[in-house]
Amino acid sequence: MRTGMIARKLGMSRVFNDAGEHVPVTVLRVAGCQVVAVKTQDKNGYTAVQLGAGEVKPSRLTKPMRGYFAKAGVTPRRKLIEFRVSAEAMLEVGDEIQADHFVVGQRVDVAGVSIGRGFAGAMKRHKFAGLRASHGVSISHRSHGSTGGRQDPGKVWKGKKMAGHMGDVRVTMQNLVVISTDPEKGLIAVSGSTPGAEGSWVIVTDAKKRPPKDVPMPGKIVKRAPPAGAAADAQGA
C-alpha cells in the first residue's frame, strides 16, 4: 500500500483521445508535497507517512508548530495529511513526491470538501419533483410535501429527506482514470469531476476497489536535502 498525495484543484478542462472523443478532466497541481514525519511499527504501533503541502510564513504558525517543522528540518507547510502505508512503502523525511507518482491509465480516488450551498430546499438538495403546478396547490409548489402520517406513525422518521444544509462535506470520487501527468509542471489530469472549489485541497490515493498494477514502489519521489536555514526559518529566527 503506497502513500497518496496532497494536490490542489485548478479547475476543469477537456482532452481528446485517439478516437477523437472529448474527455472531461479535472486538472490537479502537485507542488511541494513533502514528507514531514514518519510513523513506525516499533515506535507508534503502525506505519504511516505524514505529508505536507503548500508554503506558509513561520510567523503565521504557533510556536509548537514552528518547533515541529524545525525538528523535522523541513520548510513549514500549510496542509498536513497522514497516509497509512505498508512497511515496504515507507519513505524518509524530506522526500518530495512528484506528479508521476501515479501512472497514466491507473485508477485513483480523489477526496475533498464539496462546495457549500448553504440552506437549500428539498428540490435542490434531494432532487424532489415538487408539488403540482395547479389543481389546488397554492404557494407551496417547491415544498417537499407531507413528512409523516397522522396517527400512524404519528411522527417524522429520523433521516427524512427535508430542506436543510447542503454541501461543505467530505466527498470521495472513486475510480477516476489518470489521463496524463506532467512532472515538470506538477500537473495531473484525471477523468471527470472532483469535489471542491477551484483552489481547494484534495487528497489523491490509489483506488481501493481497483488497485493498480505496475506502479512505482514506494513511489515516484525525489530525495532532497532540507534547504539551508530551514530550521532557523521554522523557528521564526
Res 108: pLDDT: 93
Which pLDDT does position 224 carry in this prediction?
66
Average pLDDT over the chain reads 87
Q: Residue 52 is inside which H or E element, if any?
A: strand 48-55
Q: Report which residue type is found at 145.
A: G
Residues 6+ apart with CB under 8 A from 166: 116, 117, 118, 119, 120, 124, 125
Task: Express as a percent the part of the chain with pLDDT over 70.
Answer: 94
Fold classification of 5-133+161-234 is Elongation Factor Tu (Ef-tu); domain 3 (2.40.30)
pLDDT, tens digit (0-9, with 9 covering 90-100), for 100-142 = 889 988 999 999 999 999 999 999 999 999 999 888 888 889 9
The answer to whether the beta carbons of residues 72 and 36 sit under 8 Å apart is: yes
Residue 157 CA: distances (Å) to CA of 124, 129, 131, 163, 219: 21, 21, 21, 14, 48
Sign of CA dihedral 33, 35, 36, 37: positive
Cell of 190: 484525471
Distance CA 51, CA 205 (A): 13
For the segment 144-180, what is each residue's pLDDT rounded down to a tens digit?
988 887 788 888 899 999 999 999 999 999 999 999 9
Q: What band does 197 get if pLDDT is binned at 50, 70 and 90?
A: very high
